[in-house]
A and B are shown apart, each in its own frame.
Chain A
Amino acid sequence: MSAQPGLIKRMLDGRRLVIGIPFVWLFLFFLLPFFIVLKISFSEAAVAIPPYTDIFTWANDQLTVVLNLGNYLFLTEDELYLYAYLGSLKIAFISTLLCLVIGYPMAYAIARSGRQAQTVLLLLIMMPTWTAILIRVYAWMGLLSSSGLINQFLMGIGVISSPLRMLNTDFAVYVGIVYSYLPFMILPLFANLVKHDNSLLEAASDLGASRFTSFWRITVPLSKNGIIAGCMLVFIPAVGEFVIPELLGGPETLMIGRVLWQEFFSNRDWPIASALAVIMLLILIVPIILFNKNQAKELEGKA
Chain B
Amino acid sequence: MKRIGFAEVMLCLGLIFIYLPMVILVIYSFNASRLVTVWGGWSTHWYAGLWDNTQLMSAVFRSLTIAFYTAISSVFLGTLAAFVLTRIPRFRGRTMFGGLVTAPLVMPEVITGLSLLLLFVAMAQMIGWPAERGMTTIWIAHTSFCASYVAVVVSSRLRELDLSIEEAAMDLGARPWKVFVLITIPMIAPSLMAGAMMSFALSLDDLVLASFVSGPGSTTLPMEIFSAVRLGVKPEINAVASLILLAVSLFTFFAWFFTARAEKRRVHAMRQAMEETTGKAQAQVA
B37 near A237 (CB under 8 angstroms)? Answer: no
A145 near B233 (CB under 8 angstroms)? Answer: yes
Question: Could you tell me the distance between the alpha carbons of A18 and B88 in the complex, rounded to whole angstroms?
Answer: 10
Q: Is B77's CB within 8 Å of the partner chain A?
A: yes
Stretch at the interface among A65-73, A77-85, A154-162, A292-300: A292-300
List chain B residues, Cβ under 8 A from A25: 77, 143-144, 147
Question: Could you tell me the distance between the alpha carbons of A226 and B122 in the complex, rounded to whole angstroms?
Answer: 40
A142 near B248 (CB under 8 angstroms)? Answer: no
Interface residues on A, range: 35 or more
A19 near B36 (CB under 8 angstroms)? Answer: no
A299 near B155 (CB under 8 angstroms)? Answer: yes
Q: Is A203's CB within 8 Å of the partner chain B?
A: no
List chain A residues, Cβ under 8 A from B83: 18
Q: Which of A29, A110, A124, A139 contacts B241 (CB 8 A)?
A: A139
Q: Is A236's CB within 8 Å of the partner chain B?
A: yes
Who on chain A is nearest to B17 by CB? A179
A299 near B98 (CB under 8 angstroms)? Answer: yes
Who on chain B is nearest to A103 by CB? B14
Which residues of B from 21 to 53 have beta carbons under 8 Å from A?
21-22, 24-25, 28, 36-38
List chain A residues, Cβ under 8 A from B95: 296
- Binding site secondary structure of chain A: helix
Q: Is A273's CB within 8 Å of the partner chain B?
A: yes
Q: Is A280's CB within 8 Å of the partner chain B?
A: yes
Digit string of B150-175 for contact with A (CB within 8 Å is 1, else 0)? 01100110010001001100110000
List chain A residues, Cβ under 8 A from B129: none
Q: Is B58's CB within 8 Å of the partner chain A?
A: no
Who on chain B is nearest to A49 by CB? B121
Question: Could you tell me the distance between the alpha carbons of A134 and B80 in the complex, rounded to whole angstroms?
Answer: 31
B102 near A291 (CB under 8 angstroms)? Answer: yes
Q: Which of B78, B84, B118, B119 contacts A270 (CB 8 A)?
A: B118
Q: A25-B144, A135-B241 in contact; A40/B118 too (CB < 8 A)? A: yes
Q: Which of B91, B140, B201 contacts A130 (CB 8 A)?
A: B201
| Smallest CB separation, B25 vs chain A (Å) | 4
Max chain A C-beta neighbours (<10 A), residue from B97, B101, B106, B156: B106
Which A residues are closer than 8 A to B by beta carbons?
1, 3-4, 6-8, 10-11, 13-15, 18-19, 21-23, 25-27, 29-34, 36-37, 40, 50, 102-103, 105-106, 108-110, 112, 119, 121, 123-128, 130-136, 138-143, 145, 147-149, 152, 179, 182-183, 232-233, 236-237, 239-243, 246-247, 257, 260-261, 264-265, 270, 273-274, 277, 280-281, 284, 287-288, 291-292, 295-296, 298-301
